[in-house]
């Protein structure tokens, strides 16, 4: 069941931080192994997958499935198997005390023999004038969350990867016009997404261009864009800006505890073990070549199995 109240120190075989596909899969496997397991999540268990309007590349759903429905199925299966979920504003700290790992969250403390970090990643920002002012006032980092507010209006999507084109395609069904502003002369997204976007009459790609400022009054009104080749600047009238320029891992709470790469992703071995015995990482928070729901699920299963073996060797 899901509980919201802060609790005092409690002991578990396994603690999981993060409620996306990786964390929920780890919880499912750990609970089915009859290990006392709690998942700590800062919001409704979901992760970024929850926000996806349509997921077409997860096996078993040939007609696709919404991210919300898929994640709700994950939650239902994991909790039915015995996973406990607790919600807190954030995890404050992780520390080792001998062979025990102590986690502080929501004013309470938890102890465990094995910790699985599945805290995911969050959207990068542009760091330009106006971004802080108009976030939530025309600037969004989630098209499926906020797209409905821009029906029949003109919007811009910043980026050239899978997320950017998925956002653009989704918005093209709502907005009157969608500009994709990309700093290079070619897109990085999957070819099928590129084909759909380039053939969509509602989408226009503005190549070799960056946004250097976002302007408005109470809401976004224009963006100042600059062509990187000629240095020409101009203002583009739009009502919304959707920023999709990559992610950064949610690892601040374990910085200095486990080994991270230069971008802050957790370094693990093939079984999702980190540099610290008893701490594992799964999903988008882990350094790896592909971040998809399918790989997150695989990570969760691997991490839970590795945690089970680690606990067995300790006892």
Task: Report the distance separating Cα 74 and Cα 27, nearest Å.
Answer: 10
Task: Report the distance separating Cα 160 and Cα 257, nearest Å.
Answer: 34
Per-residue b or e along 50-66, where b marks 16 or more CB atoms closer than 10 Å to that residue's CB: bbbbebeebeeeeeebb
Query: Which of these is catalytic: 63, 132, 146, 162?
Result: 146
Q: Cβ distance 303 to 282 under 8 Å?
A: yes
Q: Summarize the chain as % helix, strand, coil (round to 5).
A: 30, 30, 40
Residue 146 is among the residues annotated as catalytic for this protein:
yes
Residue 269 is among the residues annotated as catalytic for this protein:
no
Vertex 305 angle, CA 302 and 311, to 5°: 135
Residue 145 is among the residues annotated as catalytic for this protein:
yes
Dihedrals φ, ψ of 35, to 5°?
-100, 135
- The answer for residues whose C-beta is within 8 angstroms of residue 187's C-beta and 6 or more apart is 160, 161, 165, 194, 197, 205
DSSP 286: B
Helices of type H across the chain: 21-32, 67-80, 131-134, 143-146, 162-171, 191-198, 293-314
* Helix or strand (DSSP H, E) at 10: strand 10-17
The total number of residues shown for the chain amounts to 315
Query: Which of these is catalytic: 63, 132, 142, 284?
Result: 142
Residue with tokens 């701490």: 279
Query: Which of these is catalytic: 132, 145, 185, 261?
Result: 145
First to last CA, the chain: 28
Q: Catalytic residue numbers?
A: 142, 145-146
């Amino acid at each position: 069941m899901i509980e919201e109240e802060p609790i005092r120190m409690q002991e578990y075989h396994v603690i999981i931080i993060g409620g996306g596909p990786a964390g929920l899969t780890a919880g499912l496997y750990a609970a089915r192994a009859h290990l006392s397991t709690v998942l700590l999540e800062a919001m409704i268990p979901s992760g970024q997958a929850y926000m996806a309007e349509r997921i077409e590349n997860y096996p078993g759903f040939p007609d696709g499935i919404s991210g919300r429905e898929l994640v709700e199925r994950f939650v239902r299966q994991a909790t039915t198997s015995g996973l406990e979920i607790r919600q807190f504003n954030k995890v404050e700290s992780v520390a080792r005390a001998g062979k025990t790992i102590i986690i502080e969250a929501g004013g309470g403390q938890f102890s465990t023999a094995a910790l699985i970090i599945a805290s995911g990643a969050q959207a990068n920002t542009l760091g330009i004038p106006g971004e802080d002012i108009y976030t939530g006032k025309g600037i969004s980092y989630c098209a499926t969350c906020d797209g409905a507010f821009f029906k029949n209006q003109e919007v811009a999507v910043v980026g050239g990867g899978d997320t950017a084109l998925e956002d653009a395609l989704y918005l093209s069904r709502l907005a009157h016009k969608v500009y994709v502003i990309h700093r290079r002369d070619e897109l990085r997204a999957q070819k099928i997404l590129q084909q759909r976007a380039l053939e969509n009459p509602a989408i226009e790609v503005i190549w070799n261009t960056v946004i250097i400022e976002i302007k408005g009054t109470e809401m976004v009104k224009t963006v100042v864009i600059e062509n990187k080749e000629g240095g020409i600047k101009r203002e583009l009238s739009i009502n919304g800006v959707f920023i999709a320029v990559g992610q950064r891992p949610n690892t601040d709470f374990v910085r200095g505890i486990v080994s991270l790469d230069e971008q802050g992703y957790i370094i693990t071995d093939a079984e999702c073990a980190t540099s610290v015995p008893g701490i594992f990482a799964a999903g988008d928070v882990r350094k790896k070549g592909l971040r998809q729901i399918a790989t997150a699920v695989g990570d969760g299963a691997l991490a839970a199995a590795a945690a089970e073996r680690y606990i067995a060797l300790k006892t």
